[in-house]
Homo-oligomer: A and B are copies of this chain.
Amino acid sequence: MSATPTSREQRILEIIDTARSKPRRFRDNQVTLAHGAGGKATRTLIEGLLVPAFSPPDGGTLRALADAGSIAVGGTRLAMTTDSFVVKPLRFPGGSIGELAVNGTVNDLAVSGARPLALSVSLILEEGLESEVLRAEVEAIAQAARAAGVEIVAGDTKVVERGAADGMYICTSGIGALDVRAALAPDSLKPADQVLVSGPVGEHGTAIMLARDQFDLDAEVESDTCSLWPAVDALLDAAGEELHCIRDATRGGAASVLNELARASRVSITVREAAVPISPVVHAAAELLGIDPMYLANEGRLIACVAPQAAARALEALRSVPGCERSAAIGEVRREPPGMVLVETSFGGRRVMDELVGDPLPRIC
């Protein structure tokens, strides 16, 4: 496609747009792995079944596209979030299920503009799990919580028979105090907003693939799992209300987040492929597997959309945060075509970067 779509391209985009704006309906007969992948099927399950069932008649606070719900307590606005972790294997280069379980929930709070305060941890253990494995994850949870500055205030443990789980699953929930500097919403993107990413994409997904020995690659890559609150804190300081939205690009990768935001704000997002930071190992692994790194999971990378006048100082602030030195501006928000994410390739072409369909890599987190 050229910069100005032809009338045929325009027609195709219109058809896609019409199909997308219909309310999602959950019609599958069975749950499939795709429903847990963070892409199209997950969203159909959420928007077609869960949100309609759980939303109170008057609307309420459950928002399909946000990482955390909000609730007012006394004079404070709180964010609350939850996440289950079923990653396989339990340990991988750069992290483990316990560390992931803390950082994942901390990050859902952080990108909602909430300073993480407290976590709960619920363990589902398989009968026969080695105590040393459990002990290591308990320690990983404790360490990650200390590093993120959150307190673990409640816990639960259940045990299921041998074969009724895969070692251990962890569910963490978190509450945080919404930061007064934050005015973040997925539907607040404006044309000309700049899109920032806080570092190289796809490292968590690649680390998991390598840990599973799914393909022969003589290289090492570590999961990017970390707390994103310091990065969010720096962004809020630098850009305040000019920061329109932050998301962490977990399941479904950066591509899925960008698609959700474009849809929610009824705008287009253009990504400059050459500007996206990707480490050589991730690039090679993605090529071998035939996956676009933009669809690979991250556990310590955020996407921020910021008004153009604040973009340079937001990027500078982000790069000053340890671990975010390779942050980059990777694209911008445009008006047309609404709801679409487009990629400007290194060769000067354009293509649609659609939602993730199916599940190329189950149990990534």
A-to-B contact residues, CB < 8 Å: 26, 28-37, 42, 45-46, 49-50, 53-54, 56, 60-62, 68-71, 73-76, 78, 80-86, 117-118, 120-131, 134-135, 138-139, 141-142, 145-146, 151-161, 163-166, 169, 171, 173, 175, 177, 362-363
How far is A123 from B156 in the complex, measured between Cα atoms in Å?
16
The residue from B42, B125, B131 contacting A29, defined by CB atoms under 8 A apart = B131
Contacting residues, chain B, for A120 (C-beta < 8 A):
69, 80-82, 173
In the complex, A213→B350 CA distance in Å? 62
14 residue pairs A–B, Cβ–Cβ below 8 Å: A31-B126, A32-B159, A46-B157, A50-B155, A53-B139, A54-B155, A56-B151, A60-B151, A69-B118, A69-B153, A84-B123, A85-B158, A86-B164, A159-B362
CA distance A153 to B54 in the complex (A): 8
Q: Would you give the shortest CB distance from A190 to chain B, in whole angstroms?
A: 27
| CA of A363 to CA of B164, assembled, Å | 11
Q: A35-B157, A36-B160 are in contact. List 10 more A-B contacts (CB 8 A).
A: A32-B159, A33-B127, A49-B138, A53-B139, A62-B151, A69-B153, A76-B76, A81-B120, A83-B122, A160-B169
Contact indicator B161/A362 (Cβ below 8 Å): yes
Which of A74, A125, A159 has the most chain B CB atoms closer than 10 A to its own CB? A159
Complex partner residue of A124 from B54, B80, B86, B142, CB under 8 angstroms: B86
Residues in B with CB closer than 8 Å to A362 are 159-161
Cross-chain contact A82 with B30 (CB below 8 angstroms):
no
Find out whether the CB atom of A154 lies under 8 angstroms from the CB atom of B62: yes
Contact residues in B for A60 (Cβ distance below 8 Å): 151, 153
* A134 neighbours in B (Cβ, 8 Å): 31, 49
- Neighbouring B residues of A73 by C-beta, 8 Å: 73-74, 76, 78, 117, 175, 177
Q: Which residues of B contact A62 (CB under 8 A)?
A: 151-155
B-side contacts of A34, CB under 8 Å: 159
Q: Which 7 pairs show the lowest CB-CB distances between chains A and B?
A: A69-B153, A36-B159, A173-B173, A171-B171, A82-B120, A74-B76, A69-B154
Tell me the smallest distance from the CB of A300 to a CB of chain B, in Å.
18
Residue of B nearest to A70 (CB): B153
Are A80 and B153 in contact (CB-based, < 8 A)? yes
Which residues in B have their C-beta under 8 angstroms from that of A145?
A: 54
Question: Which one of B85, B124, B157 contacts A169 once the chains associate, using CB atoms below 8 Å?
Answer: B124
Q: Is A31 within 8 A of B155, CB to CB?
A: no
Cα–Cα distance between A32 and B177 once the two chains are bound (Å): 38
CA distance A171 to B121 in the complex (A): 10
In the complex, how many angstroms separate the beta carbon of A172 from the nearest chain B beta carbon? Answer: 8
Q: In the complex, what distance in Å separates the CA atom of A165 from the CA atom of B153?
A: 27
Which residue of B31, B71, B155, B173 contacts A128 across the interface (Cβ within 8 Å)?
B31
**What residues of B have a CB within 8 angstroms of the CB of A71 in the complex?**
117-118, 151, 153, 175
Nearest CB of B to A225, in Å: 17
Residues of chain B lying within 8 A (CB to CB) of residue A82: 120-122, 154-156, 171, 173
Q: How far is the CB of A204 from chain B (nearest CB, A)?
A: 15
Q: Which of B35, B125, B154, B166 contacts A36 (CB 8 A)?
A: B125
A130 vs chain B, min Cβ distance (A): 6
Could you say which of B37, B86, B146, B158 contacts A84, with CB atoms under 8 Å apart?
A: B158
A319–B68 CA distance with the chains assembled, in angstroms: 39
Q: How far is the CA of A220 from the CA of B168 in the complex (A)?
A: 35
